[in-house]
Structure 1
């Protein structure tokens, strides 16, 4: 038995367009008895939304089969916060809802924040940026949901959470070390717990060298880079994070 951890955007689909052969490949793995989970850094949708989308394109999935950066962030903060401590969030409704489901208390007041959570926010304003900065000035620790510079979509890419990370690092003069999403060990361990398999028996399949492949290398998983998203074959040849194999698309994963 093998475990397969699939990235979503750029690997299984691009926007609303599924990658040719992705559905058939994932179903083939499921039918032969391999364990499958889906791992996404994208924090602007709820897990149920991913499940609905996977089911809609023909891939059987349950909520427990989907792990995303919002979930891992919520678990991480829940472990670190004291009962009366609060988090100031720069991000969208889905990650706020995930935090609340895990009992994380939120605040809009910079003076009350123990942590400032930076996440993808398509309504980012100067006011929000200033609120995060003022919270840091009052002693709040900065944490990010994911480190992605961009998110692949059908026809191109969109700015992701790294845009906000870069702004805050420029403001504070300090690097943000605590990042919940891939390639963090928090994300890797969440996937391995869901599969209930050792890392050596699992494949990470994704389109990004700096997140998907780096995470696999760091924890001892095998890795397959697909060329349907961000990273290219030329980039892989120069990267310190080398995949075990490079596939034209996820359709070829059944041969691993």
Structure 2
């Protein structure tokens, strides 16, 4: 399983980072969850779309006024990065679209007014259509993006999450190695595998998640490896 695989990779001196499109919690919370599951991790080992986007905006527009369509942890992450939370359309400089189970007409209209009539930039944490949960799926950020694009006539300017190269750039910086020396392991062909391939990393698709082997025939850029389980990663390291 994953616990044994990660432990063995680390025993061999191979560093690991965890990349997630979910902006629902800070990296520290995901690290705590991993640790509870038997995979010791720190916040620095976890890269989320919220973390990457907040850091990007803090560099590109320090102190910018932002309106976040997202849940409280993401708002706190933006505030911690020095960005100003704002709900006045005429003053908003960036509208940030994210997964939000409280998305409603009020939020939609504030974002719409800011983008269409006041020139606010339109960015997003991730472009996932759905978020997997136990027993099914929930609508994800792609729905929020689509609602704003359809009504404002504007196209989202930047999406921080996978398959954006921004995510893997953070990963390789944390690992201290070039992308070509990395193996991206994931279960989503359209995000994990595309991100890895675009960055020049090797890719390994695990079939225990959302992608099935039958779907690979239609893949324009197939992964380098297809694995039945994450434990098979160790087999790739055999001479």
2:164 is matched with 184
Runs (4+) of structure 1 exceeding 3 A deviation are none
Gaps of 5+ in 1: 1-20
Deviation at 1:180, TM superposition (A): 0.6
1:91 is matched with 70
CA distance in 1 between partners of 2:103 and 2:129 (Å) = 15
Query: Which of 101, 105, 111 is the matching residue for 1:126?
Result: 105
Give the direction of change, closer, same or farther, for the CA distance of 1:82–1:74 in structure 2 (3 Å limit).
Answer: closer
Query: Which of 80, 84, 92 is the matching residue for 1:105?
Result: 84
Query: Which of 45, 48, 54 is the matching residue for 1:65?
Result: 45
The 5 Å alignment of 1:1-256 reads: 21-83=1-63, 85-137=64-116, 138-256=118-236
CA distance in 2 between partners of 1:75 and 1:241 (Å) = 30
TM-score, with structure 1 as normaliser: 0.89
SS at 1:192 equivalent: helix
Q: Deviations over 1:108-161 (max 9, x none)?
A: 111111110000001111111111101112110100000111122222222111
Contact between 2:69 and 2:100, CA under 8 Å: does it hold in 1?
A: yes
Q: Deviations over 1:65-119 (max 9, x none)?
A: 0010010000111122154x31111101111111111111110111111110000
Contact between 2:121 and 2:157, CA under 8 Å: does it hold in 1?
A: no
CA RMSD of superposed structures (Å): 1.2
CA distance in 1 between partners of 2:89 and 2:98 (Å) = 17
Q: Which structure has the highest strand share of the two?
A: 1
User: Which structure would you say has the larger RCO, counting Cα contacts within 8 Å and 6 or more residues apart?
Assistant: 1
Give the direction of change, closer, same or farther, for the CA distance of 1:251–1:153 in structure 2 (3 Å limit).
Answer: farther
Contact between 1:210 and 1:241, CA under 8 Å: does it hold in 2?
A: no
SS at 1:215 equivalent: helix
SS at 1:98 equivalent: helix
TM-score, with structure 2 as normaliser: 0.95
- The number of aligned residues is 235
Gaps of 5+ in 2: none
Give the direction of change, closer, same or farther, for the CA distance of 1:53–1:81 in structure 2 (3 Å limit).
Answer: same
SS at 1:67 equivalent: strand
